[in-house]
Structure 1
Amino acid sequence: MGREPPQLAPARGPGSHQGSGVAMRILIANSGHPATIKGGAEAAALDLAHGLSERGHGVSLVVHHPGRGHETWDDGGVRVHALPNRNLYFGFDGRPHAAPARLAWHALDGANPFMAAAFGRILDAERPDIVNTHALPGLSQLVWREARRRGLPVVHYLHEYGTMCPRGSGFRDGRLCERPCTPCAWLTRPRKALSRLVDTVVGVSRFTLDRHLAWGFFPHARTEVLPNLFRDFHRPAGPRRGAAELRLGYFGRLIHDKGVSLLIEAVRRLPPQGWTLDIGGTGDPAFVDALKAAAPANVRFLGWTRAADFFPCIDLLIVPSIWPDPQPRGVFESYMHGVPVAGARSGGIPEQIDEGRTGWLFDPTPESLAALLSARLGTRDDRAISADALARRLERLEPGRVIESYEAVFEAAIARRRAAA
């Protein structure tokens, strides 16, 4: 702990690399480490860092934290640099802040010179071949300029919509935003300008990528679509047999935008027999109490539960998001347990489901979902889901294959930058 060290040796210099190219020095930047910030991007960035390190690359991870000094530690072969927060407050402290303070926080975060200077010192110490950025709240998009000043290629990964929308969703009042509102346009203007410096932008889904491009972000970048790396990847243990009753499941946070209220409204329209619904997840107690009060008797609220305990007990996962969910992890977890998915036509969800082969799609309304579930009750075609179709879908998530795709993207960006230089 303490202040920024003046110099560090590069993290795990080039060595044996199991892929097609030579080992790279890769610097990954993300808002936080899972030890400080509990989020999907944090877990995904660390999983990617570990996967690349195990392939023989020298990997460092830059995050920020609420402390006062620059902290450095080793995390399974990945050198972690945790930079102290240099904004009005730590944006992930869970505390309410007045609207003027939030506006000021976002205005500074879009081009924060204090975080950029600290990030530049890490670049000089680590001397990476490439910079791979992920979610950047707290670190600032100004880190892209620091990389470009040093002639380093930047590959940015889009987990969600935080670059184009301070709310992180591009979704408001139950509707998809067709264009940025005035506050968003003002607050994201520096981010849009800085996005011109990104060499390659990778979307977790085609929908997420195309939304950014449609709003004018990343105008000069090459584009790719790649899934997150699933370190806990596995294939179904064996063939499944559906129960006599259709066992439905919901797995995730209990919040309005995830569509759990829509799900409760839909099952209220079903016959009282022939199905059950297990809901695994937690949320605001008042919201959960309202859900319980509205739910039919054959709905069980399990609270927090492990995926390994949840999925073997259901026949069909419901993903009823009403916001443009980029790539719900629960869909892939369901496939890994051999369970088909009924997903809303929202965000990147349709890209994850092969209609009639790995699941079904519905419009994000109670009526559409109720109609789909009624059809499943009548035919029980969840039992006929093809194991081969699930296997083909899971092939795209095989960790070695995913890592090789990332390596190819990084190597191509390095080659283009060197050619330009």
Structure 2
Amino acid sequence: MSKTIQMPALSPTMEEGTLAKWLVKEGDTVSSGDLLAEIETDKATMEFEAVDEGVVAKILVAEGSEGVKVGTVIAIIAEEGEDVSAAAAGGASAPKAEAPKVDPVPAKAAAAPAVTAASTPAPVKAASDDRVKASPLARRLAEAKGIDLAAVSGTGPNGRVVKADLEGAAPAPKAVAPAAAPATALAVAPAAAQDFGIPHEAIKLSGMRKTIARRLTESKQQVPHIYLTVDVQLDRLLKLRTELNAGLASRDVKLSVNDLLIKALGVALVQVPECNVQFAGDQMLQFKRADISVAVSIPGGLITPIVTGVDSKGVAAISTEMKDLASRAKDGKLKPEEYQGGTASLSNMGMFGIKQFEAVINPPQAMIMAIGAGEKRPFVVDDSLQIATVMSATGSFDHRAIDGADGARLMKAFRELVENPLGMLA
């Protein structure tokens, strides 16, 4: 008996994806574990493996198809000994399968709750309309006029409702719109495009850009941000980095400043556990280790691969892991578990010469550290004014979960670790 291949849910929150490329063709024999296709989600491109063996009888969704819903039948596999032509013919009109259920996401990797809109709902179609015999034209007219077909007597063959039966029929009473939700729960509709005759190019939003827009809007609407900034002297860190790189040269490891800042944030979060948390409605999750999501710019958007257990890893291991994650992120080859989760984030724009900025929290996390450029500034060192390399670091905190005083303690711990870097290597 032939088997249907459905569009897989490659992450707990995936609802649709792009079938980027078929790696097999009709007539190919496949075994369990063979690669069937490349699927693009809003964050990465992943390879989809066969579960059963057989022959690819028919491909139902062409490669390059966008917006393919999870659970949609995309191909038919004929079992060994089965007539391939018969299997293909039977699957040509295969209906969309029910989307498979996905296990609930662990609390620390759960996506932020959707924003609820309080706009007036669309007219509700009568539940009985689909069971009433009516011509296609009559159905369209009834829907346009708001007429309940179940309340109309049909004069066509076998009681079929036709166009003439709708003349004089009264529209169904409109449902009363529910009371508006508080203003804080409203989703702000995007402004309509206005070009004013200015020459321009309309660029279609990618799935990634749509997700970024939605999640950041939700973050700013739902999460009360508080921002705390400290100036941090970098000279000792830069000196230590030079010494460590000299010692690691034989291992082909070259530490970046960002690698050391990731380590400093991880250690600081463990030292101030009140900031290594997540707001979860009627409770708060306090994490026992620091998993740092690091912002990486990729073509078309931004992704945050996660370095796990930063507080207990050596800086060489962090550097090696970060280079691998960043490389695969730019190639769209990260696995969902490599960018979903994390207990806090770090975003560094110093390489662009940005002195200071305030980053948007990445839900469901409760804090993100924004790193500015290190620059030579007049700075008081040992009670005297000197020239030092200084950077500004700004923490964005979810005020529902983290009080200002605790956020200040984290920023203090972070600054002390960067200014006395041997402490975070102990």
| TM interval, short-chain normalised | under 0.3
If the length of structure 2 is used for normalisation, what is the TM-score?
A: 0.23
Which TM-score applies when normalising by structure 1? 0.23
Higher percent of residues as strand: 2
Q: Going by fraction, where is helix more abundant, 1 or 2? A: 1
Larger radius of gyration: 2
